[in-house]
Structure 1
Amino acid sequence: MLRSYCLVALRNLWKHKLFSAINVFGLASGLVVCFLAVAHIKGVFDYDNFHPNRDRTYRVITDVTNRTSGRAVYATSPLALAPALKRDYSFVDEAVRVMEVPDEEMTGNNKRLNVDNFAVDPGFFRLFNFPLEKGRPATEPRTIVLTHKTAVRFFGSSDVVGNVLTHRSLGPLTITGVLADLPLNTHFRFDALISLTIYQNPDPQDPFWGWQQYDNGYTYVLLNPSASANNLERVLSSISGRANRDLRSPNGSRYSLRTQALTRISPSRERLSRSLINECTYEDLVGEFFIGLITLLLAGFNYVNLTLARSIGRAREVGIRKVVGALRWQVMGQFMAESVILALLALGLAYGMAEVIRTMPLPQYQFMIRLKWDFHLWLLLIGFTLIVGLLAGLAPARILSGFEPAQVFRSYTGLRVIRGLSFRKTLIVVQFTISLVAMIVLVSIVRQFHFFSTADYGFRRDRLLTIRIDDQSAQRMISALNQLAGVERVTATSDLLSELNDSQYIRRERNGRDSAQAALVAVDSNFLQTMDLTLLAGRNLPTPDGAALRGQPSRFALLNEEAVRTFRLGNPVEAVGRSLWLNDSTEVQITGVLKSFRFGWLTQPIKPLLLVHQPRQFRYVSVAVAQGAEQTVLAETKRIWKRLLPYEPFTGEWYDDQLSRKYDNRETLNLLSLLIGMALSIACLGLLGIVTYNTQMRIKEVGIRKVMGATVAQIVALLSWSFVKLLLIAGLVSYPLGYLAGTALLSYFPYRVTVGFETFGLCVGVLLVIGGLTIGLRTYRAAQANPTDSLRTE
């Protein structure tokens, strides 16, 4: 019997190739999204399962409370914590620090490349199982280990032990080993590990290395087998209590320390600040699984609609089967067999689509590059597909197997599957509502990123040429550029304003503990005029004297309004003349206060900023160019670069282009567009099914109307209006839902666009065009039919 079911199912699928292809594509689209979600979720739960003693390894995280921003949870902890735990508590087998290293560009083998670095304690290589391919760990001062991929990038092979890489801030580093490329199922992501012993004998009174700062590095602890997390929790509570007694912050910050098991880092139950890039939360996984489930549900709706659309063609088959003695469950078995076969065909297509997606540069799916289609995974996917096939075919099988033979043979074309079609019309509205909400969210995201790349930052960004000079003489480059016609002003800085992601602690008093974080940028006296910044009080940085021109730093600084509020310096006028301490030996006097402007990432609020004159830190030269002179100045600048640095590639770039590229999330947007395109195509296929069914049910009516003189346009309008109404209803339902979803998503950004009628109008316009074409083409074909064919007696 099963063999008979399969043969008949294959014949029916082959006979109706178009409907079969549409069904297979719809189910495959839903399955591939589910497969991606399931594979990703499975990978997230497998994170860091290759480390020894992972059940005894913990990361220390920090709960922070303050008067201004309330409570926040940091994945980091004070750098003084690990040495104290290892020194004072016998139940701690190992405690290591992992610190992100700024200034990621490194030089080696005549190449200058960006490298993601961590500085780690020697115990890191004992605690974590990142196997060495060659050499030995980086445990001595000024040593480094590279991943295999990084070694090949610099030297073309992994035989690099003994070679030297030069870090911009840390200087030369000797390569002692090469790590195998990192497994994808780890929350760490780095290109190189530098020995933390490069910072020899750090001052424990320095806030950076002491107990005052909790966001400079990560602490991992390995407990001995007889200890438990409760032992460590009690110790951490005591340590944080002592640290808070000495902590005096301008915003009243206090913190407490607690443990997070290595097995709970991914997925995490809470979202942490300063978490590593590969950390995922349960909230992320629920959202991802929900997207996959919704897409698969749409595909199931589509299958039901298309199967019922062919019900008229299957009615006589059902009647004959019942007349010759088939029971209802046997007829249901036939339709269920067809559904399962379709699902298995969709599984094959979904596999091909997943293989294509694996080649796409999508960061969130990089784990799929090494995804192994092993027996267990195939068993899981086949089982999942069979369940989907059975569930999708259940409703059509029950409906079609319920046909009465007498009714079928008496009135073949007058058969009604579902009276009023209310259920199936509801499915159409639901499908298009979901698709519209997804489109509104996508368009909102696109508009948000466009806003990021074109926003008014509060400083000049047009006709500004930025040149990275690194360790070259800024003054020599500035002198040459100032001679060019079309150059308005030239300034030198340590960083570009759009890239200020790092900050350091500044204190109001030399020995005080009332420190706060602020971004620190080295600039010259031309910076304000070049960047069109507004000075609210005081004066600009003084013009450098002879000592400053020779590279000596000055003792003056400019602050933004946010820094004045953070350090509680009163109003801008009162802040002028006050002093701040950059460290124990560097005091700067405030000469002026700037109107706050946006720097760093626009996804974050404005933070405190200090501008100081430190010529040795200059790494960029920015050139303000007059209108119409852009190409001339660019060509002349390249000529000057060639003369001054003949062996270095030109590093100039227009600031506008850089800001646009900074917020270029094309890969993520392409993925979202692909998913939404799938959802919309599935909805259109479902609409095609119900339109096909309806036109078949009204074929005699169409013939009579044509005989009575109705035109094709009138018939198309008559058949289409009820479906156009479904699209309009979907639009009305989706607008408030899309507005709420888009607004909730955009609320994470401090500077954002709004979900207005222009977004809704664009999405509804796309819906009406695509849906209208689907309806119009099918109804037009029905209206063109010959009346004699539809009115002929059967």
Structure 2
Amino acid sequence: MLYNYFKIAFRNLRKYKLFSFINIFGLASGMMICLLALIDIKGSFDYDNFHPHPERTYRLLTDVVSKTNDRMAFATAPLPLADVLKKDYDFVEGATHFIRAYGEFDDGRKRLQPMTFWVDADFFRVFGYPIISGTAATAPHTAVITKSMAEKFFGKANPIGKVIQYGEAGAFTVTGIIDNTTPGRSHQRFDLLLSAQSLKSEALTDWKNHQEGYTYILLKPGVTQETFEKSLASVASRTTKIIQNAKINSYHFRAQALSAIAPSHEELMRGTYEPTYGKLATEMGVGLLTLLLAVFNYINLTLARSLSRAREVGIRKVVGGLRWQVMAQFMAESVILSLLGLALAFVGLKMIEPMEFVQRWLIGGVKWGWETGLLFVVFSIVAGLLAGWVPARILSNFEPAQVLRSHTGLKVIRGISLRKSLIVVQFSVSLLAMITLYVLDRQQTYMAEGDYGFVREQVLTIPILPGQSADKLVNALHQQAGVTQVATTSDLFGSHPQDTQWAYRQRSKTDSILIDCFSINHQLIPALGLKLLAGQNFRPIDASKNRVIINEEALKGFGLGTAKEALGKTIILSDNREVSVAGVVKNFNYASFVWALKPLLLQYQPERFQYLNVKVATGTAATSLAAIEKVWKQLYPYEPFAGQWYNDYLLERHSHDDDNNFLGVLTAIAFSIACMGLLGMVTYNTETRTKEVGIRKVMGAAVHQIIWSLSWDFVRLLLIASAVAIPLGYLAGMAILLNFSYHVSIGIETFGPCLALLFLIGGLTIGLQTYRSAIANPVKALRSE
């Protein structure tokens, strides 16, 4: 019997080739997204399983309870906690810190910002990242580096023994290369690990600092988590007494097993890179939604052919077939389609696997073998059974008498057919995805091309080589014909500020505000077209370095009155340096559009200069660039020229092409599934109305009249889908834009192109098929009837 089911199923697949292709393609597209989600979910439960003792390793969490009894959970812990536990409790075998370090490193040639952490000697014993060359960084001023970061710093040269400079912390010698990618997925990510022996002792003894470092404890064998947490309770009570914060009621510590970190059950402040259940549910939801669109196609096309299949059902029942046997036939066809779709989905998965977004956010680092393949097959069979259940149940319910009277119509509400409802759902989802993606793309374009309040046209940015003075280069550039200004800055505007500090008006520090600081020279303000509201620009040589320029937001934050009233008033910076206000500049967006305008302080500190901003005359961009490159080669013959136009820098900084490309693939898949379903429905509709078309043509109907008659029902479905998707798209778009302080609007400029594309593709799908039917020879049509 089972053999006959599959034999008939293959026969039907060959008979209805177009419908079979549509169903296989749709199921493959949906399953490909589901397979991506399944791989990521599988990998999420494999986090940190390669370490030596994951069952005995715990991360310490801190619960901070405020005076109003609000509780906040942190993934970090006070830095002295590890040493206290190791010293006072004999069941602790090892304790280690994982402390974030910020800032730039340079090796004398390049300046990079790797993801850096301070670690102690126990880190290399608790965690199992293999050191593929050299030794661990346990001595003061030593470091281990990942292979990928070593190549960025030193190219193909051996990094062992190389020295990199880290700001005021000094020089660090690379002692080893560590591998943090091939062992498996981990909630920790890093490029560089520095020996914590280089940290000042007070940094590791400050109980008030509970947000900068992660603490891990390795328990001795046989010690339970309950025993450990009882000890943490007593330490927490002592911690609360030591800190004595006026805003904090109490501190509590929890032990989180290494195996329980991923997937995360709760949202933690200062969390690491473990996936959350919400992320996994979203991924699976997107995959299942895409698969559901393909299932709609299967239901649609199967029910569209219900009249021909109803005769088959009637004959089966007349000769004694039972309902479950008829259902089994339809379910067998569905499973075969699903398995064929799985094969095509696997091919698609291999095609998109190299995409950077897929590797970075989904399946990068996941190891999967035959167990995962078996899971795919089981998932495919289940998907096929679910897809075939609705049409199998409906078609197997037909009675022979109903078949003879052709009572096969299916109604949902108020005469709207089930098939039409499914088409509306498909196009609504596709249009919603298209609107959301277009809003995101417009926002990224706006962030790259919008008005930041400073001039960036005809401005070339050049990184200053680490450890070298740029004076010779600046003097040489001034002599070039097309160069009008050469400004120096500590960082480029339009990105996240690197130097943020507390500033005060009084020595008591009771009136502090957080202020972003940039170091500039006297040519930056005219070069970028910034407007001084009061005061003076920096002098060509400002030896005092105690004069600063602030923006209007800083003026308000410090309560300095008007721009003129603020001149000469003093501000105290976090390093206790007292500076006076020399000028007030008009507000401009020095940071990304993600953040609202904040207080800004411009100062003259040549030792912090890292970039040149070279302004060239209009119309001389090409010749000036060639001249600047020539000067660079003369001064630095062995260093590559890294100059970049400011517009290109902002475009690169704010455009996320890889992410958009993947989202575009998802949208294209959803749209193609919907269009395939529409094509199948239009094809079947025109085939069943062949006689009607022939009669209309014989009676004198024009081709355009026949096309309209055949198309109107489907055009109406597109209109209904648009009415459903537009308000949902507006809400989804606004949900995205609320994350940006400055964003684009959502109106006809957003909906217009999306609707135009919808009706263009939908119209072509409908029009081409109905046109073929309308121009057919009516004699052949009537004779075939």
Same fold (TM over 0.5): yes
* Equivalent-residue separation in structure 1 for 2:87 and 2:534 (angstroms): 51
Q: Deviation per CA, 1:294-333, whole angstroms, max 9, x where unpaired?
A: 1111111011112223334434433433343322322221
Partner SS, residue 602 of structure 1: coil
Q: Name which of 378, 387, 390 aligns with 1:383.
A: 378
Partner SS, residue 744 of structure 1: helix
Moved more, 577-586 or 764-773: 577-586
* Equivalent-residue separation in structure 1 for 2:78 and 2:125 (angstroms): 21
Q: Residue in 2 aligned with 1:148? A: 147
Q: Residue in 1 aligned with 2:37? A: 37
Letter of the 1:720 counterpart: S
* Equivalent-residue separation in structure 2 for 1:501 and 1:82 (angstroms): 33
* Equivalent-residue separation in structure 1 for 2:207 and 2:598 (angstroms): 22
Partner SS, residue 515 of structure 2: strand
Equivalent pair of 1:212/1:243 in contact (CA under 8 Å): yes
| Residue 604 (1) aligns with residue 603 (2) | no
Q: Would the alpha carbon gap of residues 218 and 369 (structure 1) be closer, same or farther in structure 2, given more than 3 Å must change?
A: closer
Equivalent pair of 1:503/1:517 in contact (CA under 8 Å): no
Q: Would the alpha carbon gap of residues 367 and 764 (structure 1) be closer, same or farther in structure 2, given more than 3 Å must change?
A: closer
Q: Would the alpha carbon gap of residues 214 and 55 (structure 1) be closer, same or farther in structure 2, given more than 3 Å must change?
A: same
* Equivalent-residue separation in structure 1 for 2:175 and 2:165 (angstroms): 14
* Equivalent-residue separation in structure 2 for 1:142 and 1:158 (angstroms): 21
Q: Residue in 2 aligned with 1:665? A: 656
* Equivalent-residue separation in structure 2 for 1:537 and 1:238 (angstroms): 53
Partner SS, residue 356 of structure 2: coil
Letter of the 2:389 counterpart: L
* Equivalent-residue separation in structure 1 for 2:350 and 2:746 (angstroms): 35
Letter of the 1:454 counterpart: E
Q: Would the alpha carbon gap of residues 718 and 233 (structure 1) be closer, same or farther in structure 2, given more than 3 Å must change?
A: farther
Superposition pairs of residues 255-270 of structure 1, within 5 angstroms? 259=254, 261=256, 262-263=258-259, 265-270=261-266
Q: Residue in 2 aligned with 1:354? A: 349
Equivalent pair of 1:399/1:417 in contact (CA under 8 Å): no
Equivalent pair of 2:490/2:609 in contact (CA under 8 Å): yes
Superposition pairs of residues 53-202 of structure 1, within 5 angstroms? 53=54, 56-60=57-61, 94-107=94-107, 115-151=114-150, 160-167=159-166, 170-182=169-181, 183-202=183-202
Partner SS, residue 126 of structure 1: helix
Letter of the 2:38 counterpart: V
Q: Deviation per CA, 1:40-92, whole angstroms, max 9, x where unpaired?
A: 2232233223332456512445769899xx99876556656655666677776
Deviation at 1:510, TM superposition (A): 5.7
Equivalent pair of 2:303/2:419 in contact (CA under 8 Å): no
Q: Deviation per CA, 1:594-632, whole angstroms, max 9, x where unpaired?
A: 333222332233333322211112121111222112222
Q: Would the alpha carbon gap of residues 566 and 72 (structure 1) be closer, same or farther in structure 2, given more than 3 Å must change?
A: farther
Equivalent pair of 1:64/1:74 in contact (CA under 8 Å): no
* Equivalent-residue separation in structure 2 for 1:465 and 1:214 (angstroms): 42
Q: Residue in 1 aligned with 2:438? A: 443
Equivalent pair of 2:56/2:218 in contact (CA under 8 Å): no
* Equivalent-residue separation in structure 2 for 1:672 and 1:105 (angstroms): 35
Q: Residue in 2 aligned with 1:433? A: 428
Letter of the 1:728 counterpart: L
Q: Residue in 1 aligned with 2:515? A: 518
Partner SS, residue 497 of structure 1: coil
Q: Residue in 1 aligned with 2:48? A: 48
Q: Deviation per CA, 1:171-215, whole angstroms, max 9, x where unpaired?
A: 5422222223424521222222111222344578xxxx8566665
Superposition pairs of residues 389-404 of structure 1, within 5 angstroms? 389-404=384-399
Q: Deviation per CA, 1:606-665, whole angstroms, max 9, x where unpaired?
A: 333322211112121111222112222212211221222222111211111000000121
Deviation at 1:403, TM superposition (A): 3.9
Q: Would the alpha carbon gap of residues 539 and 98 (structure 1) be closer, same or farther in structure 2, given more than 3 Å must change?
A: farther
Partner SS, residue 761 of structure 1: helix
* Equivalent-residue separation in structure 2 for 1:780 and 1:130 (angstroms): 64
Partner SS, residue 362 of structure 1: helix
Superposition pairs of residues 780-791 of structure 1, within 5 angstroms? 780-791=771-782
Q: Residue in 2 aligned with 1:533? A: 530
Equivalent pair of 1:558/1:612 in contact (CA under 8 Å): yes
Letter of the 2:481 counterpart: A
TM (norm. structure 2) is 0.89
Q: Residue in 1 aligned with 2:706? A: 715
Deviation at 1:582, TM superposition (A): 3.8
* Equivalent-residue separation in structure 2 for 1:555 and 1:366 (angstroms): 46
Deviation at 1:792, TM superposition (A): 4.4
Q: Would the alpha carbon gap of residues 554 and 159 (structure 1) be closer, same or farther in structure 2, given more than 3 Å must change?
A: closer
Letter of the 2:97 counterpart: R
Q: Residue in 1 aligned with 2:280? A: 285
Q: Would the alpha carbon gap of residues 301 and 75 (structure 1) be closer, same or farther in structure 2, given more than 3 Å must change?
A: same
Partner SS, residue 350 of structure 2: helix
Q: Would the alpha carbon gap of residues 386 and 363 (structure 1) be closer, same or farther in structure 2, given more than 3 Å must change?
A: closer
Q: Name which of 643, 662, 668 aligns with 1:652.
A: 643
Q: Deviation per CA, 1:213-269, whole angstroms, max 9, x where unpaired?
A: 665444445567364346436644653565354x8xxxx999967557255544335
* Equivalent-residue separation in structure 2 for 1:490 and 1:74 (angstroms): 46
Partner SS, residue 306 of structure 1: helix
Q: Deviation per CA, 1:432-462, whole angstroms, max 9, x where unpaired?
A: 1111111110110000100110121122211
* Equivalent-residue separation in structure 2 for 1:139 and 1:415 (angstroms): 82
Equivalent pair of 2:300/2:677 in contact (CA under 8 Å): yes
Deviation at 1:426, TM superposition (A): 0.8
Q: Would the alpha carbon gap of residues 646 and 139 (structure 1) be closer, same or farther in structure 2, given more than 3 Å must change?
A: same
Q: Deviation per CA, 1:669-708, whole angstroms, max 9, x where unpaired?
A: 1111111111111111222232233333333322222221
Q: Would the alpha carbon gap of residues 587 and 73 (structure 1) be closer, same or farther in structure 2, given more than 3 Å must change?
A: farther
Equivalent pair of 1:500/1:519 in contact (CA under 8 Å): no
| Residue 330 (1) aligns with residue 325 (2) | yes
Q: Would the alpha carbon gap of residues 581 and 259 (structure 1) be closer, same or farther in structure 2, given more than 3 Å must change?
A: farther
Q: Would the alpha carbon gap of residues 373 and 48 (structure 1) be closer, same or farther in structure 2, given more than 3 Å must change?
A: closer
* Equivalent-residue separation in structure 2 for 1:478 and 1:258 (angstroms): 55
* Equivalent-residue separation in structure 1 for 2:741 and 2:184 (angstroms): 32
Deviation at 1:771, TM superposition (A): 1.0
**Number of equivalenced pairs:** 772
Q: Residue in 2 aligned with 1:21? A: 21
Q: Would the alpha carbon gap of residues 299 and 635 (structure 1) be closer, same or farther in structure 2, given more than 3 Å must change?
A: same
Superposition pairs of residues 448-597 of structure 1, within 5 angstroms? 448-470=443-465, 471-508=467-504, 512=509, 517-545=514-542, 548=543, 554-566=545-557, 572=563, 575-584=566-575, 586-597=577-588
Q: Would the alpha carbon gap of residues 443 and 605 (structure 1) be closer, same or farther in structure 2, given more than 3 Å must change?
A: same
Gaps of 5+ in 2: none
* Equivalent-residue separation in structure 1 for 2:535 and 2:217 (angstroms): 50
Deviation at 1:95, TM superposition (A): 4.6
TM (norm. structure 1) is 0.88
* Equivalent-residue separation in structure 2 for 1:564 and 1:95 (angstroms): 47
Superposition pairs of residues 617-636 of structure 1, within 5 angstroms? 617-636=608-627
* Equivalent-residue separation in structure 1 for 2:236 and 2:631 (angstroms): 58
* Equivalent-residue separation in structure 2 for 1:444 and 1:716 (angstroms): 35
* Equivalent-residue separation in structure 2 for 1:716 and 1:422 (angstroms): 22
Letter of the 1:762 counterpart: P
Alignment root-mean-square deviation, CA: 3.4
Q: Would the alpha carbon gap of residues 461 and 214 (structure 1) be closer, same or farther in structure 2, given more than 3 Å must change?
A: farther
* Equivalent-residue separation in structure 2 for 1:740 and 1:92 (angstroms): 52
Equivalent pair of 2:458/2:616 in contact (CA under 8 Å): yes
Q: Would the alpha carbon gap of residues 269 and 456 (structure 1) be closer, same or farther in structure 2, given more than 3 Å must change?
A: farther
Equivalent pair of 1:444/1:755 in contact (CA under 8 Å): yes
